[in-house]
Structure 1
Amino acid sequence: MLNHRRILLLCSAATLALGACGDFDLDMRNSGNGFSTAEAARQATASRPRPDDRGIISYPDYQVAVARAGDTVASVAQRIGMSESELARFNALTPETSLRAGEVVALPRNLDAQDTGGQSRSGEIEISSLADSAISRAEGTTPTRTPSAATQPADQQPLQHRVQRGETAFQIARLYNVAPRALADWNGLDPEMRVREGQVLLIPVADQPAPERRSEPQAAAQPSEDVAAPGTGSATPLPPSASAPLPEPAPPAREAEEAAEEARPPSPAMEQERTESAATRFVMPVEGRIIRAYSPSRNEHGIGIAASSGTAVRAAAAGRVAAITEDTNKVPVVVIQHENGLLSVYAQLENLTVSRGASVTQGQTIGRVRAGDPSFLHFEIRDGLNSVDPMRHLQ
């Protein structure tokens, strides 16, 4: 069962590889003291929401706690009613760790959630967010479709990022196109903006004003040159025969059919006119029953294919591994880019056999299905950032 929080995590290898591309500057502190417009280009971000009386900020798919002056991990856990060891472990801290006023700690579960007997939808939402962000960084774009992007209005749930070894706050801010100061304010970082491996950061959301409603001015109606002036008579129009010869008499019906037949272009050979999308067909990554159908309106941007844990997961088509992301439970999501511009997304995996940038052939094993209740593979096909029904492409 997918019970993850809505978190995006790009592995450190992906970050380093991205940093090696072009003029990408991993650390803004290396820019010196010269004038730079980079900060001005960052999106204006909203303020972090105020926590409740317990110090908790609640979002649809997760919660965070905001520390108060003098707090430790243990005191925060006691105030919110959670095991101090559970809270400390989830944030890569110890119960005795002192926290700064305003520092954010992530909660491993929703304290206000009620068990309704149904299955949480946060996992499906998260996979789409993971895929969007992974694809965006693979293509050098910014996600725009889902609330997972940092460009969404402030009332949307922000992304979470778990810090990897060697990452800095400046790198992470650059990765999500937000100002480092906003990242520090949202997470209560110290003046040096230090982050630690395993720390969960909130990615600020943009503060976007409502778009202005502009009405296009309508051009004033211009009088027609053919309209007669007041008090004068209208000119009598000339009959068509006065300026052009009469048309030739229509040919007999048989002659018209023969002429049309000669003018008709030859029929194309349809077997040679396959579209680019049709030229590359996808195969089922695993054999099994479809237990979750494609339904974007319900945040199902792919399909769930039932499979026993340990089942080999195959690349649905030849391509290149564009990105590999992980959630806080270290469950990977693999994105493969194909020649025709489509991308395939694989989630609920373990024991990966590929790495970012590797070329794969159709049918090549890329990992194994992870154990779950039920165990299944989540599979998507994307056209850029937009999901498409995988069943249209599977053969």
Structure 2
Amino acid sequence: MTISPVFPGTRTQGQAARLPRLVLAVSVLTLAAACVNGGNNKFDWDLRGGAGNTSEEVRQATASRPVADANGILSYPGYQLAEARRGETVASLAARLSLNPAEVARANALQVNDPLRAGELLLLPSRVSAAPQPVAGAAAGPVDITAIATTALDSVGSGAPAASPAAAGGGKEPVRHTVARGETAFTIARAYNVSAKALAEWNGLDADLTVREGQTLIIPVATAPAPNPEPVPTQPGAGSPTPEPPSAKEPLPDEKTQPAAQKPKDTPASPDLGKQATGASATRLAMPAQGSIIRGYDKKKNQGIDIGAAAGSAVVAAEGGTVAAITKDTEQVQIVVIRHADNLLTVYAGVDGLTVKKGDNVKRGQKIGVVRAASPSFLHFEVRKGVDSLDPMTFLK
């Protein structure tokens, strides 16, 4: 066999013939990778029954995920669900609720020692009582600050009392669905005409929307029907009618225009906003505690920031507003919620020695308490627009 040398910058005849096919193959692979990795995971892996369009515009609007009680229980007339905590297994969850681990595992198609994700819902084989009240003097365990701050927002809104877990979703009991072999979160969502995102949020599914055979899912409660525009009837082959523009009915009124380059009369001079800026207006929110950021914002894992600060150091209002809520979790960790203009909320978790009460008007930088003693001591700080969390650092910089 004779091997012909190939010098840099030259191509053999066979290489030149294969080049277009190679470019096409690379282009196809690049496009597929972009659909999966760079397209916000919009690629539909589940093309069953010819349903290639997973557009959410045709899905029903659904209520927010129901809020469990302090013990992680969602109670409905026909059943109860338990929300798993971080690091729990089926056995430890069953022990926490005084249930038989084997029965809990069997009801959820799991093994007794299977690990659970935080927020994952398990169907309870029998009913349990409401969450017990905290025992005075009991040792405090690990505290999920994010869950605490989110719970505090339940009492903030129109002033009405927070809805009970069973009343979430408009007071309706969600339909239960047992996952059959071959089903996916996408096919189940389509069957009930809800979005896969809502199904995942309501059931605490992982980022891959993984479901298992025998798993019990609750279907998000619809708050509005899916849009159903009525098509305009046409004769076969006639095509769709073209809508008539509004300008075709009446002529536009006469108007006197002015050249863009000509400055309108009586135009006031533009103010120099740079001279009017102050230290308070340069940053939208003030730092609520003096210290360094020991844990940053993460939309899924930490819906605020943790500011490492000395125990007993001052906690101040990040902006002027009204104290909308003061509450505690079962471990007596105190939370303060302040409402500001434009429906903006700031949440302060881990505050002791409060100097304000619910309904008080506070000024920017006003002391509202001190940092709670802990190991380590820190202040958890959140910024929310309504109930949606925002990155506090975008307001503090």
TM range, normalised to the smaller chain? 0.3 to 0.5
TM-score (norm 2): 0.44
